[in-house]
Amino acid sequence: MGAFCNEDIAFSSNFNFGSFQDLRSSKHVHDNVHGNIYLGPLFLKFIDTEQFQRLRDLKQLGIAHMVYPGAVHSRFEHSLGVYWLAGAAVHKLKNNQGLEHGIDHFDVQTVKLAGLLHDVGHGPFSHLFEREFLPMVHKGSEWSHEQMSVDMVDHIVDGHHIEIDSEAIKRVKEMILASSKYGTTKRTREKHFLYDIVANGRNGIDVDKFDYIERDSRACGLGCNFQFQRLMETMRVMGDEICYRAKDYLTIHKLFATRADLYRTVYTHAKVKAIELMVVDALLKANNYLEIASHIHDPSQYWKLDDTIIKTIETAPDQELKESRDLILRIRRRDLYQFCNEYAVPKDQLDNFKDVTAQDIVCSQKSGGVALKEEDVAVSNVRIDLTRGKHNPLESINFFKDYASEEKFSIPDDRVSHLLPASYQDMIVRVYSKKPELVGAISEAFENFQLKTYGIKAQVHATPDKKKRRIC
């Protein structure tokens, strides 16, 4: 643990500053969300590597900048932000309850390092690579960016000969995996509350969300009236978990509601999804030739993969990449897959819902007219929830009445405002035409599919006639 000595650093202007000596031994960068972020020597050893610097070439919101021009921020600045907030959170707990819960310098540093490195395993275009592209290449694959982040941490430590206690690295990796399905089985049996700071698998409140909700809202020009500082100032450890004041329950609900709004208006925007579908198709067509997915288990090769893969495809003269290159050119010229229509799955059908496929749409076409093929149709099944599927996220959070209270409790639905939603999950099915001249035929087949599946036409608007009549 000697590598952690004398590396405590200061907070931003929203939190208490460290000592003058702490500042002298650190560097700082100015972040447009948190102000000055101070970086101690140990953390700089990880930051100043090609593997971490690669995060500059991974846009935080994938291809959303093609719809929201300001959304060009990267995983690099987000990682610095999560590092900063993780430090602020663990220091707050240490100052208030450090003696009570045995929070020491080792705990502080591991939490901050986990915040810094939690996204170092992300692939090109962030979640698109993991959730859309890889499942098409490796059916049934359980690859995750969290596990790759853990593998990348080992690769960085070994490759750059970083002197750090092995127990510290073990703890950092456990914290990175804390919200994944592997997290609960691999974590240390003590101080569970520390694992909820960066990636909270217990109830979803963590500094990762604090940072990206604020950062993404700002980059996209959207208002954000959720104030994470209120929660960080008043949180308290009770029974080995972080609890919150009961009167802050609406602030917590606003956290999840703001996240859901970002999913609806930015992350799954209809045009953003259209471009994502095109990028996935381009990557799939280029995969065999460029072997894009061949190194997903090898950190020494994987770190070389980033968003610039699109520029590689676009500028390569190779005939084997022509189909992929043509798709990228269509994106550049705004000749996108055409949105035909969408519908929200009825609430009583959500539990038994199965993803709609292009085959479902093609098989719903009535005889006559142009004969559709599966390769003409693209379907996006969009799930939006408040982090807990169909359940109210407040149910998994414990609260306390005031600081004199030693009792923690949950808040049931009937004690919360009746203005809050009665349902916590949406499932939206969107259909796109890959060829403009087929919009009418695909829209009609989509309507037939709804009638066959639900006995009603579930969409709320008709496809514009001018789209249906469009000819290339």
Tokens of 105: 């310098």
| Torsion angle in degrees (nearest 10) through CA of 101, 105, 106, 107 | 40
Q: Which of 81, 32, 36, 30 shows the shortest CA–CA distance to 55?
A: 81
Tokens of 451: 């009638």
Predicted confidence (pLDDT) per residue in 405-450, tens digit: 899 999 886 666 655 666 788 999 999 999 999 999 999 999 999 9
Q: What is the mean pLDDT of residues 367-390?
A: 89
Predicted confidence (pLDDT) per residue in 280-306, tens digit: 999 999 999 999 999 999 999 999 999
- The rounded mean pLDDT for the chain is 90
Rounded distance between C-alpha atoms, residue 307 and residue 148, angstroms: 17
Q: Which domains does the chain have, with CATH numbers?
A: 2-270 (1.10.3210.10), 338-386+424-472 (3.30.70.2760)
Report which listed range, 250-259, 292-301, 344-353, 417-426, is most confident: 292-301
CB 244 within 8 A of CB 252: yes
Q: Does 2 score more than 70 pLDDT? A: no
Q: What is the mean pLDDT of residues 335-355?
A: 92
The pLDDT value given to residue 3: 52
CB 307 within 8 A of CB 124: yes
The pLDDT value given to residue 188: 53
Tokens of 167: 């127990």
Q: In what order do the strands lie in the sheet with 241-245?
A: 236-238, 241-245, 399-400, 408-409
The one-letter code for the residue type at 198 is: V
Predicted confidence (pLDDT) per residue in 6-38, tens digit: 444 434 334 443 444 456 668 999 999 999 999
Predicted confidence (pLDDT) per residue in 102-147, tens digit: 999 999 999 999 999 999 999 999 999 999 999 999 988 889 999 9
Burial class (CB in 10 A: 0-12, 13-18, 19+), 82: buried
Q: Which of 144, 147, 119, 149 shows the shortest CA–CA distance to 131?
A: 144
Q: Does 469 score more than 70 pLDDT? A: no
Residue 145 catalytic? yes
The pLDDT value given to residue 456: 81
At 391, the pLDDT band (50, 70, 90 cuts) reads confident
Which residue out of 101, 118, 145, 269 is catalytically annotated?
145
pTM for this model (two decimals): 0.91
Between 467 and 457, the more confident residue is 457
